[in-house]
Amino acid sequence: MERMKKQSGLFDINLMRALEVFATVVETRHVTRAAAMLGITQSAASQHLKNLEEALGAKLIDRRSRPIELTKAGTALHRRSVSVLAELEELRADVRRATDAPLPALRIAMLASVATTLAPDLTALARDGYRIPELTLYAGLASDHQAQLRNRQVDLAITSDVSFDFEGFDWHEVLREQFLLITPEGYAGPLDNLEALAAELPLIRMSRTTPVGMHTDQHLSRVRLQLPRSIEGDRASLVVAPVAAGQGFALLTPTLLIDAIAEGMRFDVHRLPIAGYSRQIVLVSRERELGDLPRRFAEKATETLIGAVHRLLPDLPPNSLQPPASE
């Protein structure tokens, strides 16, 4: 019985190797090339394929065709094997991450609006402070971050998603920032009344599919302002560009302006003439997985972003940017 268990375990491992061989054969459409790519002999690759067909009870490859073709069963298996192998690699990475020292890899998702600004300093902290050899950075929307963390696609997320469910996560505040009125450079219209301003220039919005866009729509509704829709963008630079061209005005926060300034766009910044609203940027990680690393990365993100904003926007209205309260 013990011998059978050992053989079964070995076969399970060989089954995963057989899936790798199968996926590579599909990729190359040739057993010999696949074997060379994997560093095994052609006969070993053929044996893996035979084992796989025996385990599944189906022919997977039509060996009469040149280049080889998949059977219907092979096509179905290939669709599933891609995700199975990807999940296996994630499992291996998670195990290494839990047992190796120093941390072998770190994956960070960031708001697209701050990713370029944060990348150099976070990379330096990972390499110099934690000796992490492999760092992967992702730039995207805040609305993607919760799923990326829960699915273990990333280890840290620097996000502003107001709908984030923090159960099972640790979080550290990076900063809180006020929304500001952004107008074309030199514009001298009615800056103390948004309705009057909207009669001269349209509001250029962040898309309602983004957390910033949803937050802005909710705030305008709260203060009973119905401003007509004109232009929308899902990136801050897409919103600022028409403003800089004199085509409208926008409601954005300081960090949402960083990339536009770096791209040479020129505009004016004013305090809002309505009740103010803000957004909070936080760094989120899965609960109790990374020790003090998330806190230190949050502190570095605070330092970097506040430094960049004060350098690029020295004439911001007071209290536009607030660091975390001291503990």
* Domains parsed from the chain with CATH numbers: 2-98 (1.10.10.10), 100-173+281-313 (3.40.190.10), 180-276 (3.40.190.10)
Which residue in 163, 179, 161 sits closest to 275, CA to CA?
A: 179
pLDDT at residue 61 tops 80: yes
Summarize the confidence of residues 235-258 as an average pLDDT: 96
Strand pairing report for 134-140 and 105-111: parallel
Q: Which residue has the higher pLDDT, 29 or 310?
A: 310
| Coil, helix or strand at residue 64 | coil
Summarize the confidence of residues 76-96 as an average pLDDT: 74
What stretches of the chain adopt beta strand conformation (E)? 61-62, 69-70, 105-111, 134-140, 156-159, 169-178, 180-184, 203-206, 229-233, 250-252, 267-270, 278-286, 321-322
The 8-class DSSP code of residue 144 comes to G
What is the per-residue pLDDT for 93? 63
What is the per-residue pLDDT for 2? 41
pLDDT band for position 10 (cuts 50, 70, 90): very low
Give every strand in the sheet of 134-140, ordered side by side: 134-140, 105-111, 156-159, 278-286, 169-178, 321-322
What's the pLDDT tens digit per position in 116-160? 999 999 999 999 999 998 999 999 877 788 888 888 899 999 998
Q: Which residue has the higher pLDDT, 313 or 27?
A: 313
Distances (CA, A) of 131 to 89, 102, 125, 173, 187: 22, 6, 8, 24, 50
pLDDT at residue 67 tops 80: no
Helix/strand/coil percentages in the chain, nearest 5 = 50, 20, 30
Contact (Cβ atoms closer than 8 angstroms) between residue 110 and residue 123 = no
Tokens found for residue 22: 């199968």
What is the per-residue pLDDT for 209? 85
